[in-house]
Amino acid sequence: MDSDSVMKQQTDDRRAFLKRTSATGLAAAIGGAIPFSDHLASGIFPDAIAQEFSGQLEGKRGLRVMNDRPVNAETPVTLLDDEITPNERHFIRNNGIIPERAWKQDPAGWSLTIDGEVRKTLKLSLAELKKRYRSVTRALVIECGGNGRAGYNPPAKGNQWTLGAVACAEYTGVRLKDVLQDAGVKDSAVYIGYYGEDQHLSRDPNKQPISRGVPIGKALDEHTLLVWEMNGEPLPAYHGYPLRLVCPGWPGSTGGKWLKRIWVRDQVHDGTKMTGTSYRVPRYPVAPGTHVPDEDMEIIEEMPVKSLITRPGTGIETSKDKPLALRGHAWSGYGDVKAMHVSIDFGATWISAKLGMPRNKYAWQRWNASVKFPKRGYYEVWARATDTRNHMQPMLVPGWNPKGYLNNAMQRIAVKAT
């Protein structure tokens, strides 16, 4: 079977499974009748019995699945060792129901609309988009704003991401700037808001699962792209087929997937997950657990400097007589990382690591170091990146915020030297 047939088979299996699930079966499984069972959307996944989740995700291997509806899965850190993250290792963060078009990889009838504060409204097919503007290919880090949420105390609401809601894949598309300039951005433009073809979990057609965006300045940045290809393949269903936005250096959620419309606004976009505590942090530092009023919250823009140790994994044993090779990646929402350090003595002294150049701005940078342990015993390797603005990763989880965003604490691994 070729990969298309395998994928179709998996999709068919999933559908057949969903079809078998009735409200009665569900009631039996949870030991009670379900009120309003007639409201249940047909084909609902029986999450009451989440052990039914098979661990299978189309096109994904080795991920740690945190939620099956909507699907959210992170990548164990040792599987992020590649310089360019393969599609099968890229984390998944979804808010709604993935459109059928994406599963079928069917572009028929699809178009992208650019409207609002522009001189002419554009409606473009995928073919037109590819033909009318210059294509660019860039390696870009996408990191979920909530990566590291599991570190906050009191616990912050949402998927409890640890380290793996980040990846650096290679994308092909066009600059959003070229498309916006073609439409003619008016002076009144302040912000863009995206709309996707994904459905709200309630299946209410009047609701969007997510509709975020960026200020017009970021939208017109030459690194902000509309992409149709990920690592040389059409965007996989989980990653926004046929088109997604990537606003590198900013929370992954600013890059809408399954894109169908970009609305150029004359005010800060107020779509789903732009307001309240979503992707927003307090304007001033707060004590852990503080209730922060909405008006004191501000939208997250740049993501902080961060790094990973991708080799070795934590908990290894090594000989004290041999050097241990360490490596990983470093990146910053601000742009380039200028230095990478490791410590094997709990931060008392720091060793400068070899740091590579990024493939292009907003790609992550490979770092390498070699350490030798002076005597037998338990060690921790700590890793710390510093960006060109001299911001560095904190040793501990940074300032608490209601939804647990922006945790860029240093990663540590445990090593036993024998």
Q: In the complex, which residues of this chain contact other proteins (CB under 8 A)? A: 26, 30-32, 34-37, 39-41, 44-48, 50-57, 60-70, 73, 76-79, 150-151, 153-155, 157-160, 162-163, 200-202, 204, 207, 272, 288-289, 313-315, 380, 397, 409, 411-414
DSSP code for 33: P
Rank residues 60 and 218 by Cβ distance to other proteins and give the closer one.
Answer: 60
Q: Quick one: 301 or 380, whose CB is closer to other proteins?
A: 380
Whole-angstrom distance, CA of residue 236 vs CA of residue 229: 9
What is the identity of the amino acid at 24? Answer: T
The residue ranges of DSSP E strands in 75-206, in sequence order, are 92-93, 112-116, 122-124, 135-143, 166-175, 191-196
Minimum distance, C-beta of residue 231 to other proteins, in the bound complex (Å): 19
Q: CB of 59: closest distance to other proteins in angstroms?
A: 11
CB contact at 8 A, 113 and 123: yes
Per the structure block, which two tokens stand in for 212?
């975020």
Quick one: 71 or 139, whose CB is closer to other proteins? 71
Residues 407/304, Cβ–Cβ less than 8 Å: no
Q: How far is the CB of 6 from other proteins (least distance, A)?
A: 14
Q: How far is the CB of 190 from other proteins (least distance, A)?
A: 24
CB 201 within 8 A of CB 113: no
Q: Which is nearer to other proteins, 136 or 201 (CB)?
A: 201
Closest to other proteins by CB, 55 or 109: 55
Considering the complex, state which of residue 36 and residue 284 has its C-beta at the smaller distance from other proteins. Answer: 36
- Token representation of residue 332: 């910053």
Whole-angstrom Cα distance, residue 220 to residue 206? Answer: 29
Q: Cβ of residue 217: shortest distance to other proteins, in angstroms?
A: 29
- Tokens encoding 388: 């060109």
- Distances from the Cα of 156 to the Cαs of 152, 160, 209, 290, 399, in angstroms? 6, 8, 20, 11, 12
Q: How far apart are CB 409 and other proteins at their closest, in Å?
A: 7
For 116, 202, 230, 261, 286, the CA distances from 198, given in Å and listed in that order, are: 21, 12, 19, 12, 35
Residue 229 Cβ vs other proteins, minimum distance, rounded to whole Å: 24
Residue 343 to residue 307: CA distance in whole angstroms: 14
For other proteins, the closer CB: 55 or 293: 55
What's the token pair of residue 205? 């057609």
Question: Please, which residue, 150 or 183, has the CB nearer to other proteins?
Answer: 150
The least CB distance from residue 43 to other proteins, in Å, is 12
